[in-house]
Amino acid sequence: MGLTFSVMASWRVRAAEHARLIARVHELTSTVQSTISIACFLNDATLAREIAAGLMKNRIVAGVRITSGAQVLYTGGVIEVAAGGGARIDAFPRTIYSPFDQRHPLGLVTLYVSSAEIDAQAAAYSRYTIWILSLQVSIVAAAVAFLVYLLVTRPIKGISDELHRLEIRSGMRLTWPSGNRKDEIGQLVLDVNGLIARLTAALANERDLRVAQEISERRMRLVFEKADTGILVLDECGAVQSCNPSFVRILGPGAALPGATLDELLRPHGALVAALIESANTAGEPREADMEVDLGPVRGTVWVELSVNRLAPNLLQGLVSDITERKRAEVAARELAARDPVTGLLNRRGIDAALVQVLERPIESRARPALLQIDLDHFKAVNDTHGHDAGDHVLRAVARVLERSVRRSDFVGRSGGDEFQVILAGVEKAAIALEIADKIVAGIAQPIDTGGGDLVRVGASIGIAMGSGEYEQPASFLRRADEAMYEAKQAGRGCARLANAAHDEPGDSAAA
C-alpha cells in the first residue's frame, strides 16, 4: 500500500510540478510586462532584445517574439529550429498595453516554451520524491511489522490455540497472556470470557424457549384450525399456499385444490384482488375490500371481507370473513330508511333519490322520464268519519293500485299525508303518461274497504311533468308536477293535467 501510495503521489507531484513550471512562465511574463510595454511604446528593438535575452536564461523558455503593432521588435531562440521541424514548442502569447493607458494595446509578447524541458524537470522532481517516499515506507513497514508480531500476532496466536482446546460446557475460561493484562489483548480475553459466560446462559435459555415455542405453536395451530375467519398464506402471484378449514368452509371445496389462486376463487373480482395484492406488496401495509361472490346454485351469492398483508418479500397473509348477514342487515336498514312505514312505498327520501337516479340516466331513443304528482280527493273526510286506522287502510289500498298501474322499472312513493308520487323511468310520449294517470284515477275511484266492513270512496287529482330531454333539477321537476296537480284540483278534481306542454310533442297539449 505504501509503494502504491508513493507511485500515485509521484504522479500527482509530477503533475503539480508541471503546472508550477507553466505558472512560472506566466510569472516571467508578468515580471517583464511593464519593461516590454516601454520597449513597445518607444519601438526600441535593443531594449526588446535585452528583455528577451533575460527571459531565455530560463531553460524552459526556448524562444521569444516581441512585436509592436505590425513591427517585429525582436524574434529569436528556438523559433527557427521549430520551423525546421525541431522539438515541440508551446506558445504563450500576452497582449502588451500602453504604460500610460491600460486600455490601449501596443503589441504582443510570445514566449515559446520547450515542453520536453518542462517534462524533464517535472520527471526529475517526481523521481526524487518517489525515492524519498519509498525509503520512508520501507523503514516504517519494517518497524510496523516487527511491532505487530511482537505485540499483536504472538499474543493472539496464543489465545487462538487456547480457544481450540476450550470446552464451554465445562466452564473453562481463557488465561491472560503475560504483559497484556491491561491492554487491548487483555480486554479481548476479558470479553471472550464474558461471551463464554453469556453463551452458557443462552444455551440454557434456548432450551427453555424451545419448549415454550412448541407450546405456543400447538396453541396457534389450534387457533388456526378452529377460527371462524378464513386464514390463508399467498405467494406474490396470489396462489394459495396454505389455508385453514374456515377458508374452505366460506369459499367451498375448490379453495383447497392445489394451484388455486385467490383471484379465481373470488370471481368476478379478479382485477380487484390482484390490485389489493400488488398494493399490499408495494406499500407493505394491509389492504382490504368487501366483495360479493357467486358460489354457484347451491350456496348462491355471499359477501366476504378480504384483507391481505405482506408477511415477507414473497409471501402474504390473507383473511377472509363471511359478512353476508351484515351486508343484508345494512341493505335492510337502508331500505327501511327509504320506506314509508304505513304503505311500504318509498318515502320522501327514497323518492328524491329515485328522481335523481332517473334524471341522471342517459337519454335512450325518444324515452323521457315522467313524474306523476298524486293528491287524494276527500281523504280528510275518511279520517274524520272513520278514524285514522281506516285512513291507513285507504292509503295502503291506494298504494296497491299505484303499484299495479306501473311497470317494475318505475318508482312509487308517498311523500306524506295523502300525497303520492309515481316516477315513470321512460315513456316515448306524454300521451302514455296520461293513459297511466287515467288508469290510476279510475282505480282509486273504486270503493275501498276501511278494514271494518265499511266502504268509502276517494278520488285522485294528478299533475304530470315530462322530462325535456335535457338535464333538469329535481326541485324544478317536482314543482312543475305540483303546479299541474293544482290545475287538476281547480278543474274539478278526479282528473290529470300535463304541465309545460311546450316540452312535449304536438298534440299532447290537446290531450291534456
Q: Looking at per-residue confidence, does 484 or 53 come out higher?
A: 484
Mapped onto helix, strand or coil, the DSSP state of residue 71 is strand
Mean pLDDT value of segment 38-48: 84
- Residue pLDDT, tens place only, 220-235: 665 656 566 777 788 8
Residue 50, pLDDT score: 87
- pLDDT(422) > 90: yes
Q: Looking at per-residue confidence, does 119 or 332 come out higher?
A: 119
- pLDDT(512) > 50: no
In the chain the domains, ranked by start, together with CATH numbers, are: 2-122 (3.30.450.20), 227-327 (3.30.450.20), 338-511 (3.30.70.270)
Residue 289, pLDDT score: 82
Q: Are the C-beta atoms of 105 and 95 separated by less than 8 Å?
A: yes
Cell of 300: 348462491
Residue 511, pLDDT score: 37
Mean pLDDT value of segment 253-261: 71
Identify which of 378, 372, 380, 250 has the alpha carbon closest to the alpha carbon of residue 318.
250
Q: Looking at per-residue confidence, does 178 or 238 come out higher?
A: 238
pTM of the complete model beyond 0.95: no
Polymer length in residues for the chain: 512
Q: Are the C-beta atoms of 471 and 448 separated by less than 8 Å?
A: no
- Residue pLDDT, tens place only, 264-290: 777 777 788 788 888 887 887 888 888
Mapped onto helix, strand or coil, the DSSP state of residue 497 is strand
User: How many other CB atoms sit within 10 Å of the CB of residue 319?
Assistant: 18
Banded pLDDT at 8 (limits 50, 70, 90): confident
Residue 279, pLDDT score: 82
Banded pLDDT at 157 (limits 50, 70, 90): confident
Amino acid at 477: F
Cell of 174: 481463557
Identify which of 314, 261, 318, 310 has the alpha carbon closest to the alpha carbon of residue 289.
318
Task: Give the gyration radius of the chain's Cα atoms.
Answer: 52
- pLDDT(439) > 90: yes
Residue 167, pLDDT score: 67
Cell of 153: 500476532
Instruction: For residue 287, give the H/E element and its range.
Output: strand 287-294
Q: Looking at per-residue confidence, does 506 or 269 come out higher?
A: 269
* Partner residues linked to 306 by β-bridges: 289, 320
- pLDDT(471) > 70: yes
Interhelix angle for 388-405 vs 430-444, to 10°? 140
| Cα(233)–Cα(62) distance, integer angstroms | 84
Q: Are the C-beta atoms of 21 and 118 separated by less than 8 Å?
A: yes
Q: Is the dihedral of CA 122, 128, 129, 131 positive or negative?
A: positive
Amino acid at 21: L
Largest Cα–Cα distance in the chain?
148
Q: Are the C-beta atoms of 126 and 65 separated by less than 8 Å?
A: no
- pLDDT(14) > 80: no
Residue 487, pLDDT score: 93
Residue 112, pLDDT score: 85
**Residues above pLDDT 90, as percent of the chain:** 14
What is the chain's mean pLDDT, rounded? 80
- Residue pLDDT, tens place only, 361-419: 766 556 788 999 999 998 888 888 888 888 899 999 999 999 999 998 899 999 888 89
Mean pLDDT value of segment 176-186: 70
